[in-house]
Amino acid sequence: GDSVTQTEGLVTLTEGLPVMLNCTYQTIYSNPFLFWYVQHLNESPRLLLKSFTDNKRTEHQGFHATLHKSSSSFHLQKSSAQLSDSALYYCALSDRYNQGKLIFGQGTKLSIKP
Partner 1 sequence: ETAVFQTPNYHVTQVGNEVSFNCKQTLGHDTMYWYKQDSKKLLKIMFSYNNKQLIVNETVPRRFSPQSSDKAHLNLRIKSVEPEDSAVYLCASRHGGVNAEQFFGPGTRLTVL
Nearer to partner 1, 15 or 72 (CB): 72
Do residues 22 and 72 make contact, with C-beta atoms less than 8 angstroms apart?
no
Question: Taking CB under 8 A as the rule, does residue 72 contact partner 1?
Answer: no
State how far the Cα of 30 lies from the Cα of 53, in Å rounded to an integer. 11
Question: Taking CB under 8 A as the rule, does residue 11 contact partner 1?
Answer: no
Nearer to partner 1, 36 or 81 (CB): 36
Of the candidates 23, 98, 113, 114, which one interacts with partner 1 according to CB under 8 A? 98
Shortest gap between Cβ of 90 and partner 1 (angstroms)? Answer: 6
Q: If we measure between CA atoms, which residue out of 30, 36, 37 comes closest to residue 53?
A: 30
Question: Taking CB under 8 A as the rule, does residue 24 contact partner 1?
Answer: no
* Sign (positive or negative) of CA dihedral 103, 106, 108, 109: positive
